[in-house]
Structures are given as C-alpha cells and as structure tokens.
Structure 1
Amino acid sequence: MISGIIRRMNKIRFLKAVDRVVGSALSSIIVSILRLIGRESLSHGTLGKILVIRPGGIGDAVLLLPALKKISEQIRELCPGAQIDILCEKRNHGIFQLSGDINRIYLYDRGIGLIKCLRNSYDAVVDTEQWHRLSAVIAYLTRARVRVGFNTNERGGLFTHMIPYSHDDYEGKSFFNLIAPLIGVKPFDGVPDVFISGGAFIDSGHIEIFKTGKTIAIAPGASVKERSWGGDNFGLTAQRLSELGFNIVIIGSQADKSDAVTIKDYCTGAVDFTGTTSLKDTAPLLKSVSALVCADSGIMHIAYALGTPTVSLFGSGIEKKWAPQGKSHRVINKHLPCSPCTKFGYTPPCASVKCLTQITVDEVVGEVVDLLRIVSCLAPC
C-alpha cells in the first residue's frame, strides 16, 4: 500500500519536474517559431470533433463537467454528429466516466494513450490546465485550427485563443470562460446545484444505515499533508456525532486507511469503506448520506456535484476558487494572514499548519448539526 502511494506521488513530482524543464523549453521554442511564421486563421468553421485536455486531480475534473455539458449541448445542436474526446490522467479518468457527454477517454500517462489521441484529427482543442506547459504543447501538436487555453506563463502563446486566468474566480467560472470562444456561452451564473447523477448505494452488509436518513460520511484524505486535519480530529468528530445519534461511514482511497483505523478507534461503530470503492461507487455512496465532513479534497467536489451537503475545512486552499457554494454547504476557514498559500496546485511546506490546527472538533460538530437543521428546512415537504 505505502509503496504504491509513494510511486504515485513520485510520478506526479516527476511529471511536474519534466514540465518545468522540458515543457518550458518546448513552449518557448514553438512560440518563437510562431512569431516568425505568423499564426493560422482563427476562423472556426464546423467544430465536428473536439478534444478537451484535463491533467491533474479529481476536483478540477468534477468542476469541468458543467462546461463539458454546455459544449456538448451547444455543439451537437449545430452539428449532430459532433464528438468530444478527453485526454486526462489515470487518477481523474473515473470522473469523466460519470459523464454522458464524452465520446472517448485517452490516458496520456498510461501506455500509448497519448499517441493514439494525437493520431486523431480535431477541429478544436481546449486545454483546461491552469499552469503547466506540456498540455499546451500537446494542444499545439494536435494541429487543431482552434486551440483554446489559459494565458499563463509562456504556454499562452501556443493557443489561437488565450484566456485570462484569475485566482479570484470560482473554478467553475474559469472553465466556462475557456469554452466561450467555442460556443459563445451566456455569462456565467453559477454551477448547477446537481451535475452528477447517482443512484442509491447498494451494500448488503450495511444497507440499513443508509435508510435511516442520519448517516454522515467522513473523508479524512487530502492530496497534501498541509490540508490534512488528522485522524484524531476526525475520530473525535465521528465519536461526537455518533453520540448524537448519527451513523458514521468513512470513505477514501487506500491511502486513507491509516486515518480510517484511527477514526474507528474513537468510533467503533463506524463503517470503513476506504480503499474498497471506485470513483463510480463513491458517487452513489455519497448520494446516500445526509452530509459529508471532509478536508479540501476531490471527494468534497464529488459530493458537491451530487447535491450532498458538505462541511469542508479550508486553510491553504483558495476558498473562493474551490469551496462548494450554496446554502447546503459550510466552509470552516480561519482566514489566517498566511493563507491561502496554494497557487497553481503547489502548496509550500508548513510545519505548523495553524490554519487547520486552530479548527476545533466543537466547531465542526456544531456546523454539521446546524447545516442538517437548515437543509431539512429547505427540503420540500
């Protein structure tokens, strides 16, 4: 288990290092050539086949789905046979399997997925990466006549349509800004309350706890340690909520198993699903609970997309860019002078992580109880 986690993290670091050196050099060279020979026409013509590139983790992929649906609706109305392909990573491809708007999914970090993708002919490519450069190089190599991407660092010069990127914008809005050149979308008016469908979770051994209407999911995982509240804090929270009559389920990947064990030490009745459910299974599980308590993580975004109420803990991450929005969601954030400190996916090392250690169990339990009271009042009779 641990060796697998280390291999995955090392691969991510390796790809970022390659991007920093090779990606930067390739971007600069290609942009210089384009300046000499001039750019191709920006005429759209018929956009029958579109490639969307989405590197990175789960959260970005989830918040991209509404924009993908909008592309699908608009393009296929004009061109009924239009197709949308996705080029993504193994770690986020499960999200796109939840979408009915995708024709084919290619994995650029598995086998020859990238080569197969580049063999296709695309009318347009949308690179949704915010900072790293190699995806912009790939967009250029597709030879698509329309190439859209964020105008950050030297990567912007590889696109026919360079879109400004702001850390002050909600990420769902940023993705809508990207697709505007393709379909002329209406002004962004917020991500839908629900944009992933999910049926009831079926688990014959624990089906009764999901019928009570009083089941809380706890997801202790975080992509970096600076976003982790810790198994002990989540465990005490689970204990308190259990004492108030709630059932507790723990969800996450195999990497979260250690925290799950700690949580069960505090709350022996908790049901541990960590490492046993795929992304496709996680969606119906989250749909079946009353609320999710979590760090700033990919699972938080899935719950938001399903319409499941959330209580999320923010510190290093940018709340206004990434936090779930609406009355069914609560964000606990101490808003310290040093936070948020994450920019373009990079979180600087922090020994104290005061932005999270100052969040108390009492605060989290109180927010959960109050949120569920509010949500029950909002629910139709």
Structure 2
Amino acid sequence: MGTSIVKKVLVRASNWIGDAVMSLPALDALKELYPSAEIYVLAKTRAIPVFENNPSVAGIIEYGKEHGGFTGRLKLSGELRKHGFDLAVLFQNAFDAALISFLSRIPERAGYARDLRSGLLTNAVPVTEDIKKKHQVYYYLNIVERLGGSLPSRIIPRLHISPDEARWARGFIKEKGLEGMPLFGAAPGASYGPAKRWPPERFAEVLTSLKNEHSGAALVFGGPEDKEACAAVASLVPGAIDLSGRLTLRQSISLASCFKAIVTNDSGPMHIAAALGVPTIAIFGSTEDSLTGPVGERVVVVRKKIECSPCFDRECRFGHYRCLNLIEAKEVIEAARGLAA
C-alpha cells in the first residue's frame, strides 16, 4: 500500500509500560513513513500514559475491561470499524491483536508472524534469529522497515511532558519543601519477579549516599504493586519520601523529569527515566541488557555476568540470586556519580 493512500493508521501498543516505551522510536518512524496520516494507538489502560502528548499520535483508544471476552472483542472491533483505518500495525505480539484488526475489517494488517496469527495478517513479518538477538527497539522498528520505512537517525525513545504537567511537578516539589534541592530517585520494584529486584537495603545505601553527598532529597516511587519494596527502601533512608501508589503514571513521569539521577531495576520506571533523558543507573539480574536495557544518552547498566545469567527466570531456580547479590552498593554509587556529575 502506497504511503499516499494511507490516511489513518491503528497501532496496537504493547501491554507493558517498558515495552511501550521501547516502541516509541518505531512509532515516530511510522509517522515519518506516513507523514499525512493520522496515527491512533490502541492500548491497555496501564500503557496509555506512555503515548499521551506524543506529537506522532492523533488519538488514543482504550482497550478496557469492557472489551474482555469474545463479546467484548466484537464490541471493540465494531468501534474500530467506524474509524475507517487503512492500516493496522501490531507492536503487540498476541493472536488477539491480529484477530481484532481482522474483525475490524482493516484492509492492511502488519505484524510478526507468530502466535498462530499469520493467516490474519496481510503483511506477516518473519521472526528471524537475527531480530531475536537485537534490542527490543529494533524489534518494533523492523515492522516499520518491512512497510518501507527507514531507521531514524537517533534511535532513542522520548516521552513528552506538557507545560501543565511541568508546572504540576514544580508545584509538587515546592509543596514538599524540596525546591532548589537535587532530587534522587529509586524505583526498587519490578513486576516480573524477585529475580529482577536488587535488595532494598542496597537501594537505601545508594540513595542515602547520593542524598548526603549532594545535600539533596530522596524519593522512592512505583505503582501500587511496588508498595512493599518501596516501603522497605524508604524506611532505611532518613527523610525519604515514599510515593508508591500515590501518583498517577503521568505525574510520576512529570516528577521524574526533574530528578538529578534515578537508580532502578530492569522495569518500566527504568525505561521511563531513560526516555526522559534523566541519568539512569539500571541494575540487571536475570535479564539481558543488550535486549531490554535502557536506551538513552545518560544511562549505565550495572550487572554481574555469572554462569547462570541471564536465565530470564522470574525466580532464581537455585535460590541464591547471585546475579543480584554480587552487585555492591559502592559500584552503583560510583556509576551514579559518573552520570550525575
């Protein structure tokens, strides 16, 4: 399909926040390929904030709870059909994404040939051994390349903050009595499992050191599911502010943009911080940073390459978590100093 024919595009976004952030360069490349087209993003509720205020996005459609089950999918497909999309680009891998675009009668449907969905796609992109070895940002960009697009000159995800959001962040900082102080953040959660979570006492040691060294403030943040991990860290850092579950994702993004540095596990907040251009120190355990590491100009990964890592397990099959426990706080502190200088 020629670029002049495509007037309206539907992008099925990835469900996880980190994956959604890593798809942003592909979204921008798609807009460059179809500059006159309107691009709409279909996303689960939790991922929607990643795409808000993005200049490449004309609109966001929520894939909500009411769209569950076959009846809900038929309802969603009917809603999408009314938009008259010319092309669906599936960044999400599931069979469901292809089924919905097919039921929506979108004439052109591009996505990876996996999960038994090739028959529902008009442009089934092969999942090659080469693409599986590349970073996730290239996994998404490869779909756009198959449509005729080009790799952007700067392959770095970018999040966009509105003037109102920036004002809110400044007001929040002032309200908490932190105005003029360097802010250091920690995101000790990781929904994937304990094999991605560095010990809270080491997060606390790093945060305390940076806070004291710069006469700054310490903030611990995460979603409602991270409350236990955040509370464990905050309790060990004098004066730390625990924001877990207290902010919306857009508020967290706006506030994080004001940080001097963020220390984080391999998680959604890691990708958010990197996409904001904030100095990001990422701690990796069971996963592989060459595939899903932070992408940005001010990022550093701290990890220990041992014989069983990366294993990609949610929990350590041996019970020792050595890939995480071997990482000392002093290593992370030095990495943070180098980035936050």
TM-score scaled by structure 2? 0.85
1:248 is aligned to 2:213:
no
| 2:242 aligns with one of 268, 272, 279 | 272
Query: What's the CA shift for 1:72?
Result: 2.6
Q: Is the 8 A contact 2:111 2:123 kept in 1?
A: yes
The residue number in structure 1 matching 2:326 is: 358
| Structure 1 segments (4+ residues) deviating >4 Å | 42-45, 204-208, 346-349
Q: Could you tell me how far apart the structure 1 residues matched to 2:322 and 2:54 are?
A: 38
Q: Could you tell me how far apart the structure 1 residues matched to 2:15 and 2:239 are?
A: 35
Query: What's the CA shift for 1:273?
Result: 1.7
1:290-321 alpha-carbon deviations (Å, 9 max, x no partner) = 11100011111111111111000112222112
Q: Could you tell me how far apart the structure 2 residues matched to 1:325 and 1:65 are?
A: 11
Query: What's the CA shift for 1:71?
Result: 2.3
Query: What's the CA shift for 1:56?
Result: 1.5
Q: Which amino acid aligns with 2:322?
A: K
Change (3 A) 1:249 1:137: same
Counting only pairs closer than 5 Å after superposition, residues 328-339 of structure 1 correspond to structure 2 as 328-339=298-309
Q: Is the 8 A contact 2:43 2:61 kept in 1?
A: yes
Counting only pairs closer than 5 Å after superposition, residues 1-381 of structure 1 correspond to structure 2 as 46-76=5-35, 79=36, 82-112=37-67, 114-115=76-77, 116-130=79-93, 132-165=94-127, 166-182=131-147, 184-192=148-156, 194-197=158-161, 199=166, 201=169, 202-203=171-172, 206=175, 208-212=177-181, 214-225=182-193, 226-245=195-214, 246-326=216-296, 328-342=298-312, 347=314, 350=317, 351-373=319-341
Q: Could you tell me how far apart the structure 1 residues matched to 2:239 and 2:229 are?
A: 15
Q: Which amino acid aligns with 2:187?
A: A
Q: Is the 8 A contact 2:52 2:160 kept in 1?
A: no
Q: Which amino acid aligns with 1:98?
A: N
Query: What's the CA shift for 1:190?
Result: 4.1
Q: Could you tell me how far apart the structure 1 residues matched to 2:33 and 2:256 are?
A: 30
Change (3 A) 1:178 1:352: same
Change (3 A) 1:327 1:145: closer
Q: Which amino acid aligns with 1:91?
A: R
Query: What's the CA shift for 1:105?
Result: 2.1
Tell me the secondary structure at the aligned position of residue 217 of structure 1. Answer: strand
Q: For structure 1, list consecutive stretches of 5 or more residues without a partner in the other structure.
A: 1-41, 374-381
Query: What's the CA shift for 1:189?
Result: 4.2
Query: What's the CA shift for 1:327?
Result: 5.0
1:233-259 alpha-carbon deviations (Å, 9 max, x no partner) = 222222232332342111111222222
Q: Could you tell me how far apart the structure 2 residues matched to 1:327 and 1:265 are?
A: 32
Q: Could you tell me how far apart the structure 1 residues matched to 2:54 and 2:296 are?
A: 23
Change (3 A) 1:145 1:327: closer
CA RMSD of aligned residues (A): 2.5
Q: Is the 8 A contact 2:89 2:110 kept in 1?
A: yes
Query: What's the CA shift for 1:210?
Result: 4.9
Q: Is the 8 A contact 2:3 2:33 kept in 1?
A: no
Query: What's the CA shift for 1:267?
Result: 1.0
Q: Which amino acid aligns with 1:121?
A: G
1:97-120 alpha-carbon deviations (Å, 9 max, x no partner) = 232332332222322472422443
Query: What's the CA shift for 1:47?
Result: 0.8
Q: Is the 8 A contact 2:304 2:326 kept in 1?
A: yes
Q: Is the 8 A contact 2:253 2:272 kept in 1?
A: yes
1:320-357 alpha-carbon deviations (Å, 9 max, x no partner) = 12212455111012122322233xxx746643332212
Change (3 A) 1:90 1:349: farther
The aligned length equals 322
Query: What's the CA shift for 1:61?
Result: 1.1
Q: Could you tell me how far apart the structure 2 residues matched to 1:136 and 1:339 are?
A: 34
Query: What's the CA shift for 1:208?
Result: 4.8
Q: Could you tell me how far apart the structure 2 residues matched to 1:88 and 1:311 are?
A: 28
Q: Could you tell me how far apart the structure 2 residues matched to 1:118 and 1:193 are?
A: 30
TM-score scaled by structure 1? 0.76
